[in-house]
Amino acid sequence: MEIVKEQPEWFRKALEVNHKSDFAEISGAKVHFMEWGSPLNPSVIMLHGNHAHAHWFQFIGALLVHKYHFVVMSFSGMGESDWRSRYDKDTFIADVLGVVKATKLVRPVIVGHSFGGMVALATAEKYSEDMSGLILVDFVVRRPENHIDWYKHLPPSKPPKVRPSKEELVQRFRLMPPQECKNQFLLDFIAERSVRKTDQGWSWTFDPSTYDHFEVGNNQSEVLNQLNCPVSFMYGENTMEFDTGNSIKEMKELLPKGSSVVALREAQHHLMLDKPLEFVEELDKLIQEFV
């Protein structure tokens, strides 16, 4: 596998695209978001995965700037957003709705990757009538008997690890779940924006206590088929996040009739990092089906 360390021209140009970076005050916490495009364009908001942040998707918003009013955000307790004393599913739903309101999105398409897919589905459970569509990215729904509540049995969180220098911590950045990724320039870009300065040194931007009181619930298959908006599903052809046989088969069976399904070739769980341009192309096609 050939490692790409230097930022390609398309990526450098994407970072130069004009956008707004701001915060929405939501239940006492400042929640970070980034915004591209005209409010007259169809609205899209993209939700990141476990302990990730808005900058993971910065290039995506930039590449789609002329088509959509595109917003990415960092959940509270992650990225540049404030930390809270406690988090649950409703916390993150409120984060999403608060950013939607702050950016004046109109009937948005909500795109959720991994953990963000869970939040997107939970948001749609209550507000699908106000959405144009839901796109789940490498997030599967299981029947209740097969469901695993990921965070319910985690051990208590530990204080955040601190390193003496930013450089040392950035070098320790790894994808979770672990996987190889040839696009080192993307990993470097994300890693630089995944650390923060503290009084003791340098630490990760996420709050390690995020999931201390978190429960996913086992009703997702029921929710998926009661939504009042269309649904699509995209996953990495080589994802190791879940069994690509039974889990994918079950997900396809549970999707509402007529839902689009895209398997991104040669991509794993972090498919937008494995195949960034191909991911944007396929995402654009799925959004177009809804708007």
Instruction: Provide the 3-class DSSP secondary structure of residue 139.
Output: coil
CATH, domain range 11-151+210-290: 3.40.50.1820
DSSP string, 10-64: HHHHHHHS--EEEEEEETTEEEEEEEES-TTSPEEEEE--TT--GGGGHHHHHHT
> Beta-strand (E) ranges in 108-192?
109-113, 133-137
Band (10; pLDDT cuts 50, 70, 90): very high
Please tell me the predicted confidence (pLDDT) of residue 180. Answer: 94
∠ CA 65-66-70 to the nearest 5 degrees?
A: 40
∠ CA 33-38-42 to the nearest 5 degrees?
A: 85
pLDDT tens-digit series, residues 232-286: 999 999 997 666 568 889 999 999 999 999 999 999 999 999 999 999 999 999 9
Name every residue whose Cβ is closer than 8 Å to that of residue 265 and which is 6 or more positions away in sequence.
237, 275, 278
pLDDT tens-digit series, residues 89-147: 999 999 999 999 999 999 999 999 999 999 999 999 999 999 999 999 999 999 988 87
Q: Would the pTM count as exceeding 0.85?
A: yes
- Residue 235's CB is within 10 A of a number of other CB atoms, namely 25
Band (41; pLDDT cuts 50, 70, 90): very high
Rounded to the nearest angstrom, the gap between the alpha carbon of residue 201 and the centroid of all alpha carbons in its chain is: 28
pLDDT tens-digit series, residues 268-277: 999 999 999 9
> By C-alpha distance, which of 139, 93, 97 is closest to 119?
93
Q: Which long-range contacts (CB under 8 A, 24 or more apart) does 239-245 make?
A: 239/138, 239/267, 239/268, 239/269, 239/271, 240/177, 240/179, 240/268, 240/269, 241/114, 241/138, 241/177, 241/269, 242/140
User: How many Å apart are CA 120 and CA 117, to the nearest integer?
Assistant: 5
Residue 228 has pLDDT above 90, yes or no: yes
> By C-alpha distance, which of 36, 90, 43 is closest to 64?
36
Residue recorded with tokens 């990526």? 11
List the domain boundaries for the chain.
11-151+210-290
